Amino acid sequence: MEEVHFLSEWMIKFLENRDSIRKSIVKIEKNEHGFAVQYKERTRKFWVRLSLDTEFLNGLKEEDLGIITLNNQENTRFVNSNWGKISSFRMLSIYFVNPFSSSDKAWILNPHVHNSICDRSSLLQGLKSMSEMVEPINQDSLKEKLRLKKEEPGR
């Protein structure tokens, strides 16, 4: 799927840029679900999921994992609705992204850590506040933006 490939490539560049000072990335290997990043001290798997769902969540194992998903209300609501299970994964980070946002391009949630410092009653409001830093995007909008990008002169 073109959207998943695009988000994988975009996220790899995002992570490499974040690592430009520290230089802890040793190797990146692409796979069918996304990619794995070997850092000097650990390896982290990254799964690209355009939308979050129960079937995917139920298949997760406790491991050093990053999930890359689109920044939109549906994904934010899913995280809120499934907070008990999501926050139980100690090494999970969720990257809510919109590579085409005119403001920030991503925000990152570490549910296990967030759960230990936030009040459950204000979770949804906190998620909404964080998500507002990045413009929302859904799968159809992403597909359209990629189509338009291909049609740009000089491509």
**pLDDT of 42-51, one tens digit each?**
999 999 999 9
Euclidean distance between CA atoms 103 and 137, whole angstroms: 13
3-class DSSP state for residue 132?
Answer: coil
Euclidean distance between CA atoms 41 and 114, whole angstroms: 23
Average pLDDT over residues 77-97: 96
What the block records as the tokens of 69 is 């998903």
The backbone region for 34, taken as left when phi is positive above 0, alpha when psi lies in -120 to 50, beta otherwise, is left
Average pLDDT over residues 73-97: 96
Query: What is the reported pLDDT for 152?
Result: 78
pLDDT at 153 over 80: no
Euclidean distance between CA atoms 138 and 98, whole angstroms: 9
Query: What is the reported pLDDT for 155?
Result: 58
pLDDT at 32 over 90: no
What the block records as the tokens of 55 is 């079937």
- What strands lie across the sheet with 92-97, from one edge to the other? 25-30, 34-39, 43-48, 65-70, 92-97, 106-109
Grade residue 107 by pLDDT with cuts at 50, 70 and 90.
very high
pLDDT at 5 over 90: yes
Radius of gyration of the chain from its Cα atoms, rounded to whole angstroms: 16
Closest alpha carbon to 80 in 49, 120, 139 = 120
Grade residue 113 by pLDDT with cuts at 50, 70 and 90.
very high
Average pLDDT over residues 137-146: 96
Q: Where are the domains of the chain?
A: 2-141
What the block records as the tokens of 84 is 């008990």
First to last CA, the chain: 20
